Amino acid sequence: MSIIDTSPGMDRLDVAGAGSRIRSIEAIPLIAPFSRLYRDGDVPGWLLQPAASHRTLERKGQYSTLIRVTTEDGVVGVGECYGLPAPRVTAQIVRDIIAPLLIGEDALATDYLWSRVFSSMSGGGQVRGYFLEAISGIDVALWDIKGKVLGLPVHRLLGGPHRDRVEVYASPVPMLDEPGESADYARSFVDAGFHALKLKLGRGTRVDIAHAAAVRQAIGPEVDLYVDLNCAYTADRAVDVVRRLIDLDVTWIEEPVAVDDVAGYRRIRDAFPVTLVNGETLFTRWDFRDYLQAGAVDVVMPNLARAGGITESRKIAALCETFHVDIAPHGVGSAVGLAAALQLSASVPNFRIYEYNRLPNPLRDELATTPFEFSDGMLRVPSGPGLGIELDWSRVDEFRAE
Ligand SMILES: [Mg+2]
């Protein structure tokens, strides 16, 4: 039966054709240890603890759980689950819980399958964390398959493009020791063609302001300066540091307080004329709903590899549009997560800017067979079928964590 047959009573599998049934789902945990990047194994402290959120759990490398879904016809789709800090955990959830629900199902029925998997566990309280990251990676892989079967990039399947290049900012200037080091690091981003960059803060008002002031002086008044506090402060301390940051023309305040402190966000937003941002630690549209209803944020940053994949992130974007709030997808991950974020960014009207993470990351820079095209503060949206990228599987194998 044709894929465009809409006759009443059709069977879902008939529509897809039996060849689009899911034959296998593989979860591939990846780790790229930072120690491999430094010949003497002496990884600098700023890389182990690039942000306030890594103060108690060092980040020893780049992590990801890749998903590879294959259909009966042999079409392969790839997805990514947010891997930090234990990619093998997500892989086990995929193998034990999710894959058995999906084998033999129609790979093109993305919305149906998302709901089927989510509802399998939501009644038991599994609505966030590793379980949602596992769902996310599989969903992205199914969208990659759908694009490959239909011969179109995901952004066209979603009704785009609204844009064929995506505005990005450089992230992060990590938590370096001296303000002068932060200034030099930030300046290198401007020299590379970025028009906006993000500085990691959360070390106390005095240290934070010293680094922000040095960066502002180094980059001049024309470059947008964003800061990310990674939930380091209580609201009263955040108010103090934000007041001083505004004097440095900081225009973007990200995660100043704990993720569940909606009232704290509201307090800061009411007090200051600044773009208040969160979202990388939120899962599904229901988490975002609470912030939107409270009027607590200006821009949200869903990470597709954890918030629920493309299916759910598109709904999050639509929900935000309803509240006249823009999305600015979070940017930590591999080439697969980057490609997925670019596809979504091209396909929604309320896209603001994408976080182009520049920490050393072979999983982002070395797994795709063709590089992402960056110029003048913009990334080009891949135009090939599906996510628009192909992986070098021999390179993937080099980073397997089991
Ligand atoms: Mg952040």
| Beta-bridge partners for 82 | 64
pLDDT of residue 1: 38
| Cα–ligand 1 centroid distance for 318 (angstroms) | 22
DSSP code per residue over 331-390: --S-HHHHHHHHHHHTT-TTB--EEEE-S--HHHHSSBSS---EETTEEEPP-SSBTS--
pLDDT of residue 179: 98
Residues 199 and 228 sit within 8 Å (Cβ to Cβ): yes
| Beta-bridge partners for 382 | none
C-alpha to C-alpha distance for 315 and 376, rounded to whole angstroms: 30
SS3 at position 164: coil
SS3 at position 187: helix
pLDDT of residue 365: 97
Q: Positive or negative CA dihedral for 143, 148, 154, 158?
A: negative
| Cα–ligand 1 centroid distance for 19 (angstroms) | 41
In the chain, residues under CATH classification 3.20.20.120 are 156-398
Along the 402 residues of the chain, how does pLDDT read in single tens digits? Answer: 344 444 444 454 445 567 899 999 999 999 999 998 887 778 999 999 989 888 888 888 999 999 999 999 999 999 999 988 999 999 999 999 999 999 999 999 999 999 999 999 999 999 999 999 999 999 999 999 999 999 999 999 999 999 999 999 999 999 999 999 999 999 999 999 999 999 999 999 999 999 999 999 999 999 999 999 999 999 999 999 999 999 999 999 999 999 999 999 999 999 999 999 999 999 999 999 999 999 999 999 999 999 999 999 999 999 999 999 999 999 999 999 999 999 999 999 999 999 999 999 999 999 999 999 999 999 999 999 999 999 999 999 999 998
| Cα–ligand 1 centroid distance for 230 (angstroms) | 6
pLDDT of residue 80: 98
| Cα–ligand 1 centroid distance for 122 (angstroms) | 27
* Catalytic-labelled residue, pool 54, 155, 211, 330: 330
Torsion of CA 142, 314, 225, 241, to 10 degrees: -110
pTM above 0.75, yes or no: yes
Domain spanning 156-398: which superfamily? Enolase-like C-terminal domain (3.20.20.120)
pLDDT of residue 310: 98
**Alpha carbon of residue 295 to chain centroid:** 23
- CA angle 381/385/388 to nearest 5° reads 40
C-alpha to C-alpha distance for 109 and 16, rounded to whole angstroms: 8
| Cα–ligand 1 centroid distance for 280 (angstroms) | 6
| Cα–ligand 1 centroid distance for 52 (angstroms) | 10
Number of neighbours of residue 74 by Cβ within 10 angstroms:
8
pLDDT of residue 9: 45
In the chain, residues under CATH classification 3.30.390.10 are 3-152
Give residue for tokens 């009966």.
Answer: 72
* Burial (CB count within 10 angstroms: exposed 0-12, middle 13-18, buried 19+), residue 205: middle
C-alpha to C-alpha distance for 289 and 293, rounded to whole angstroms: 6
Torsion of CA 58, 60, 61, 63, to 10 degrees: -60
Inter-CA distances, 301 with 32, 60, 231, 326, Å? 25, 24, 14, 9
pLDDT of residue 16: 54
330 catalytic per annotation: yes
Domain spanning 3-152: which superfamily? Enolase-like, N-terminal domain (3.30.390.10)
pLDDT of residue 54: 87
- CA angle 286/308/141 to nearest 5° reads 160
| Cα–ligand 1 centroid distance for 51 (angstroms) | 9
C-alpha to C-alpha distance for 134 and 207, rounded to whole angstroms: 38
pLDDT of residue 210: 98
| Cα–ligand 1 centroid distance for 59 (angstroms) | 15
